[in-house]
C-alpha cells in the first residue's frame, strides 16, 4: 500500500502536524524504499512529533522505544516471565509430569513478555516503531538494532525464529550526544529537522492553541526566533514556545509590548538555565520585542510594495 | 536539464539510470557514503511519479543520500550543479577540498597504532627536548614515516595544508586510542561480587527450578569524561588552531567530553565542535570566540567555569585538561582560589603548557606558579609526540 507524496502532505496537515517543506517526501520514500528514517536536529525541534504524526496519518499503532545507556535485549526485544515460569514448575512438580513437556510448556508464547522491538514485528497491521534518542544507547545495541532492521526477524533460542508478520515503519531520532555508526546511517533515510521559521512556528502555536489571538501567535513566534539567535546555553525548543504561549494566554496578555515585567517573569517557560536567565534581562526582552515589531512592519511594507 | 554541462563525460540523455549512476559517483567523490543500494533506490525514485519534478526529486535524493548534517547542508548545491547545471565548477571543487580533510583521518586511523612505546615518564623527559632538536633529528628522519616527522615538529610550524591535515588526523587518532583503552577496561568479568538474581532464576528454569548456575553481577565502571579548557589569548595564538583541532578530535571520539575556550571570558564550544567538518567547526568557533588573541584572565574564566558549568560537566571520573601558557593578566590570587575550588571537584587536573617545549623554560609566570600546586600533571604540548605521551596517563585515571 503506497500512498503518494501529496496525499501524505495533505494528511500531515489534517492531523495537525505543521510540516517543514520536504519531510513529506521523506515519509513517502520510507514506504517506497522500505527504509527506516533517521531524524537529527537540536533538542526540542519536534523530532519525536514526526513519529507520532506518521502513526496518525497511517492510522496505525505507535510503538515507542526510548533508548538509554545500558539498554539491553531484555528491555528492548523480549524477556521470559520468570516468576510465572517458576510457579508453573512448582505447580506441575507434584503431578509428576514429564520434564520435557514441562519445558515445552513454560517456554511457550504464554510466558513470553513482548518488548517494543518484538511487538513491532508481530502486529497484524504495520505499526510505526519510534526508536527515540538512539544515540543514548551504546554501540553494542546499535549493532544489534542494525541486524534487526535489515532482517526483521528475531531468533529466540527456546522458541525458534520469529519472522515479521508486517514490516513496521521505523523512525529513529538522534540528538547527537554520540556519533552514530556509518552502517546505521547508511541503512536509513536522513532528514535534518531545523527549528521552524517564524511563520511555521506561528502556525504551530495556532494549531495547538486554537484560542490564541492570531497577532499574538506571530508576535510570540518572532520573539522566540530572536531569542534563539541570542547566545544561550540551552536554546528553547518548540515545546517551550508552546508553554510560553499557553502561559501568556492564561495571563490574558494581548500584546507582548504591554507589560514587559510580566513578560520577563513568564520567560521561565523558555529559559531553563540560571545563566540564560541572567543573560536575558528585562532590557534585552524589550529590545527583542521591539525588534520583532520592526521586523514585522518591515515585512508588511515589503509585502505591500510587492 | 542541461546534461552537457554535467561533469560525467559519458552521460546519455536517454538513460536515466546512467544519469543517476553518474550523480552517485559525484556524491561519492564528494565524500558521501553512498553504495550500490542507494544507486538502485535512486533509480526507483527516478522512475516513480516524482521523477518529473526537479524539486521533489531533489528532496527525495537528499533524504536518500545524506547521512550527516554536513552532507545535508551541501547536498542542494551538488544536486543543482549536476542536474540543473548551476554554479558547477566552484561548488564541486570547494566541497572536494573539504573532503580531503576527512579522508586522511580515516586512513590513518586504520593503519597500525600510534607510538605505543611512549611511557608516562616520557612526559617529563620530553620537556628538555625541544623543537626538532638537532641531536634527535637526523636519526629520526632516516627511519621515520612522514607522519612521524610531523610528530616531532613544533606545532607552530605546522602550516602546510597537508601537514595540517596530518596533525589533525593524528590528534583524532590519539583521542580514539585513548577512548579504546578506556572502554576496554570496562569489560564485565565472569566473576562479580553480587548475585544477579533475575538471570540466575532464568538459568535455573532449565534445571527445573534448582539454581545450579549462578550469574554474577559487577558494578559497571563509568567511562572517563574529559573536559578541555583552552586558553585562546594572544600569547597562545600560534598554537590555538592546532589545539582546536585536537579538541575537535577529542569531542568527536570520546563518549563524554566537554570543551571550553577562554581568553578574557569563558565560551562553551562543545556544540560547535560536534560539527564533523573540521574547517567549518573552526569557522564557527572563530565567530563564537570574538576577542580571541587579547589578554587572558585565567582566574576569572575558571571562576565562571566553577560557578556555571562545573556542577553539570564534572562527575567523579572527570579529568580536566587545561591548555594554557599560564600568563594571567587578572588580579593575583584569583587563579589560586579557583584552582583550589576546581581541585575539590574533579579527579585529575592536567595542565598542558606549550612553553615547556622551549629550552630553558621555567614556570615562573605568576599565574603558572599559582596554579601549579593543584595540578596533577604538568606536561608539554608543543608537538604531537608530547600529546601522544599523555595517553598512558589518561588511561590510568
- ipTM for the predicted complex: 0.82
Mutation target among B37, B67, B72, B289 for the A interface, most CBs of A within 10 A: B67
Is residue B117 in some structural domain? no
Kindly report whether the global pTM for this prediction surpasses the value 0.90. no
Q: Which residue has the higher pLDDT, B172 or B269?
A: B269
pLDDT digits (tens, 9 = 90+) for B77-122: 899 988 887 654 443 444 333 433 333 333 333 333 333 333 333 3
Contact, B28 vs B36, CB < 8 A?
Answer: no
CA angle A262, A266, A269 (to 5 degrees): 175
The answer to whether residue B116 sits within a structural domain is no
CA–CA separation, A148 vs A134, rounded Å? Answer: 14
Domain with B208, as residue range(s), is: 189-217
Residues B170 and B201 in one domain: no
Percentage of chain B surpassing pLDDT 90? Answer: 5
Higher pLDDT pick, B154 / B190: B190
The C-alpha cell at B163 is: 601537514
Does the residue B173 lie in any domain? yes
Residue B26 pLDDT greater than 50, yes or no: yes
Burial of A238 (0-12, 13-18, 19+ CB in 10 A): buried
In a shared domain, residues B201 and B179: no
Q: Are B49 and B162 within one domain?
A: no
Instruction: Tell which of B173, B201, B217 closes a domain.
Output: B217
Answer whether A188 sits within 8 Å of B48, measured CB to CB: no
Query: Do residue B82 and residue B201 come from a single domain?
Result: no
Between A21, A32, A188, which is nearest B48 by CB?
A: A32
Report pLDDT for A242.
93
**What is the pLDDT at residue B202?**
72
Instruction: Identify the pLDDT of residue B186.
Output: 36
Bridge-based pairing state of the strands B194-195 and B216-217: antiparallel
B217 neighbors B192 (Cβ within 8 angstroms) = yes
Say yes or no: B78 and B154 in one domain.
Answer: no
- On whether both B101 and B247 belong to a single domain, the answer is no
Q: Are residues B196 and B237 in the same domain?
A: no
- Taking an 8 Å cut-off on Cβ atoms, the answer to whether A80 and B202 are in contact is yes
- Check residue A10 and give its pLDDT: 86
Q: Do residues A20 and A50 make contact, with C-beta atoms less than 8 angstroms apart? A: no
Q: Are residues B160 and B213 in the same domain?
A: no
CB contact under 8 A, A29 and B308: no
Instruction: Answer with the residue of higher pLDDT: B264 or A144.
Output: A144
Residue reference for cell 492570531: A214
- Report the pLDDT value the prediction gives residue B360, as an integer from 0 to 100: 63
Looking at the fold, whether B232 and B252 belong to one and the same domain comes out as yes
Q: How many domains does chain B have?
A: 3
Dist. CA A35–CA B66, nearest whole Å: 14
Strands A62-66 and B348-353: unpaired
B180 SS3 class: helix
**Statement to judge: residues B203 and B271 lie in one domain:** no
B-proximal residues of A, 234-293, CB under 8 Å:
274-275
Residue B261's pLDDT is: 86
Q: How much is the pLDDT for B114?
A: 36
Q: Which residues of B touch A (CB under 8 A)?
A: 33-35, 37-38, 41, 44-45, 48-50, 56, 59-60, 62-64, 66-69, 71-72, 198, 201-202, 205-206, 208-209, 220, 252, 255, 268, 274, 276, 288, 308
- Whether residues B267 and B302 share a domain: the answer is yes
* Average pLDDT along chain B: 69
pLDDT in tens, chain A (306 residues): 456 788 888 888 888 888 877 889 999 999 889 899 999 988 888 899 999 999 999 999 999 999 987 787 788 999 888 888 888 888 887 777 777 888 888 888 899 999 999 999 999 999 999 999 998 887 778 888 988 888 888 888 888 888 999 999 999 999 866 667 778 888 899 999 989 999 999 999 998 888 899 999 999 999 999 998 887 878 899 999 999 999 999 998 888 877 878 888 899 999 988 878 888 888 888 888 876 666 555 554 544 443
What are phi and psi for residue A80, nearest 5 degrees?
-85, 145
What angle do the packed helices A198-208 and A238-250 form, to 10 degrees?
A: 60
Categorize the per-residue pLDDT at B304 as very low, low, confident or very high, splitting at 50, 70 and 90. confident
Q: Do A178 and B255 touch (CB under 8 A)?
A: yes
**pLDDT at residue B183, rounded to an integer:** 43
* Inter-chain residue contact A190 with B71, CB threshold 8 Å: yes
Do B371 and B259 fall into the same domain? yes
Most confident of B31-40, B119-128, B374-383: B31-40
Strand, helix or coil at B385? helix
pLDDT digits (tens, 9 = 90+) for B306-358: 877 887 788 767 888 898 888 887 788 888 888 988 887 777 888 888 887 66
Task: Tell me the C-alpha to C-alpha distance, in Å, between residue B228 and each of A280, B161, B211, B237, B297.
Answer: 27, 25, 49, 17, 17
Q: Between the CA atoms of B41, B42, B47 and B52, what dihedral angle is there, to the nearest 10 degrees?
A: 150
Using the beta-carbon criterion (under 8 Å), do B308 and A4 form an inter-chain contact? no
B387 domain-assigned: yes
User: Which residues touch B35 (CB under 8 Å, ≥6 apart)?
Assistant: A186
Biggest alpha carbon distance in chain B?
77
Cα of first residue to Cα of last residue in chain B, in angstroms, is: 60
Rounded to whole angstroms, how far apart are CA atoms B200 and B204?
6
pLDDT of residue A176: 66
> pLDDT value at position B62?
93
Amino acid at each position: 500500500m503506497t500512498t503518494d507524496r501529496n496525499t501524505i502532505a495533505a494528511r500531515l496537515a489534517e492531523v495537525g502536524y505543521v510540516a517543514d517543506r520536504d519531510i513529506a517526501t521523506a515519509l513517502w520514500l520510507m514506504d517506497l524504499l522500505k527504509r527506516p528514517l533517521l531524524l537529527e536536529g537540536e533538542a526540542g525541534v519536534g523530532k519525536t512529533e514526526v513519529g507520532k504524526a506518521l502513526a496518525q496519518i497511517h492510522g496505525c499503532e505507535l510503538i515507542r522505544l526510548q533508548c538509554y545507556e545500558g539498554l539491553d535485549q531484555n528491555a528492548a526485544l523480549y524477556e521470559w516471565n520468570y516468576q510465572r515460569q517458576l510457579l508453573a514448575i512448582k505447580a506441575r512438580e507434584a503431578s509428576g509430569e514429564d520434564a520435557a513437556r514441562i519445558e515445552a510448556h513454560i517456554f511457550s508464547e504464554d510466558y513470553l513478555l513482548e518488548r517494543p522491538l518484538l511487538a513491532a514485528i508481530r502486529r497484524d497491521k504495520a505499526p510505526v516503531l519510534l526508536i527515540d534518542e538512539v544515540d543514548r544507547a551504546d554501540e553494542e545495541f546499535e549493532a544489534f538494532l542494525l541486524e534487526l532492521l535489515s532482517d526483521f526477524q528475531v531468533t529466540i533460542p527456546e522458541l525458534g525464529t520469529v519472522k515479521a508478520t508486517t514490516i513496521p515503519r521505523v523512525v529513529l531520532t538522534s540528538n547527537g550526544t554520540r556519533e552514530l555508526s556509518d552502517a546505521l546511517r547508511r541503512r536509513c533515510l536522513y532528514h535534518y529537522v531545523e527549528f521552524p521559521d517564524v511563520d511555521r512556528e506561528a502556525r504551530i502555536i495556532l494549531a495547538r492553541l486554537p484560542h490564541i489571538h492570531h497577532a499574538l501567535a506571530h508576535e510570540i513566534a518572532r520573539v522566540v526566533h530572536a531569542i534563539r539567535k541570542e547566545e544561550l546555553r540551552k536554546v528553547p525548543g518548540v515545546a517551550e514556545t508552546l508553554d510560553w504561549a499557553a502561559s501568556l494566554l492564561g495571563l490574558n496578555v494581548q500584546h507582548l509590548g504591554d507589560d514587559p515585567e510580566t513578560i520577563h517573569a513568564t520567560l521561565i517557560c523558555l529559559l531553563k538555565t540560571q545563566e540564560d536567565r541572567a543573560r536575558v534581562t528585562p532590557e534585552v526582552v524589550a529590545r527583542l520585542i521591539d525588534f520583532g515589531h520592526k521586523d514585522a512592519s518591515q515585512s508588511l511594507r515589503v509585502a505591500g510594495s510587492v | 536539464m542541461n546534461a552537457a554541462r554535467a561533469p560525467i563525460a559519458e552521460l546519455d540523455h536517454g538513460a536515466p539510470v546512467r544519469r543517476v549512476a553518474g550523480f552517485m559517483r559525484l556524491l561519492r567523490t564528494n565524500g558521501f557514503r553512498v553504495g550500490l543500494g542507494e544507486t538502485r533506490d535512486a533509480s526507483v525514485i527516478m522512475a516513480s511519479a516524482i521523477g518529473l519534478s526537479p524539486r521533489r526529486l531533489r528532496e527525495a535524493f537528499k533524504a536518500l543520500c545524506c547521512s550527516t548534517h554536513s552532507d545535508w547542508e551541501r547536498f542542494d548545491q551538488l544536486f543543482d550543479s549536476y542536474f540543473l547545471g548551476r554554479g558547477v565548477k566552484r561548488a564541486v571543487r570547494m566541497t572536494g577540498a573539504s573532503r580531503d580533510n576527512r579522508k586522511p583521518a580515516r586512513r590513518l586511523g586504520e593503519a597500525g597504532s600510534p607510538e605505543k612505546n611512549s611511557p608516562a615518564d616520557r612526559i617529563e623527559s620530553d620537556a628538555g627536548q625541544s623543537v626538532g632538536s638537532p641531536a634527535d633529528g637526523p636519526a629520526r628522519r632516516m627511519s621515520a614515516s612522514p607522519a612521524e616527522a610531523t610528530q616531532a615538529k613544533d606545532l607552530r610550524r605546522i602550516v602546510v595544508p597537508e601537514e595540517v591535515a596530518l596533525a589533525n588526523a593524528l590528534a583524532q587518532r590519539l583521542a580514539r586510542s585513548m577512548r579504546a583503552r578506556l572502554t576496554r577496561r570496562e569489560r564485565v568479568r565472569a566473576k562479580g561480587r553480587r548475585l544477579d538474581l533475575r538471570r540466575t532464576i532464568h538459568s535455573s528454569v532449565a534445571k527445573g527450578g534448582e539454581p545450579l548456575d549462578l550469574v554474577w553481577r559487577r558494578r559497571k565502571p563509568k567511562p572517563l569524561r574529559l573536559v578541555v579548557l583552552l586558553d585562546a589569548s594572544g600569547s597562545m595564538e600560534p598554537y590555538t588552531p592546532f589545539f582546536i583541532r585536537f579538541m575537535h578530535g577529542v569531542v568527536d571520539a570520546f563518549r563524554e567530553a566537554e570543551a571550553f575556550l577562554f581568553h578574557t571570558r569563558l565560551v562553551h564550544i562543545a556544540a560547535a565542535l560536534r560539527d564533523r567538518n573540521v574547517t567549518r567547526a573552526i569557522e564557527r568557533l572563530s565567530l563564537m570566540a570574538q576577542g580571541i588573541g587579547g589578554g587572558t584572565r585565567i582566574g576569572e574564566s575558571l571562576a565562571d567555569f566553577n560557578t556555571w558549568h562545573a556542577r553539570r560537566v564534572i562527575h567523579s571520573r572527570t579529568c580536566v585538561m587545561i591548555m594554557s601558557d599560564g600568563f594571567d593578566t587578572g588580579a593575583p590570587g584569583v587563579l589560586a582560589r579557583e584552582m583550589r575550588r576546581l581541585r575539590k571537584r574533579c579527579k585529575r587536573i592536567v595542565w598542558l603548557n606549550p612553553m615547556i617545549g622551549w629550552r630553558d623554560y621555567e614556570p615562573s609566570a605568576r599565574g603558572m606558579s599559582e596554579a601549579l600546586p593543584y595540578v596533577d600533571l604538568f606536561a608539554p604540548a608543543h608537538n604531537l609526540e608530547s600529546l601522544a605521551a599523555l595517553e598512558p596517563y589518561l588511561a590510568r585515571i
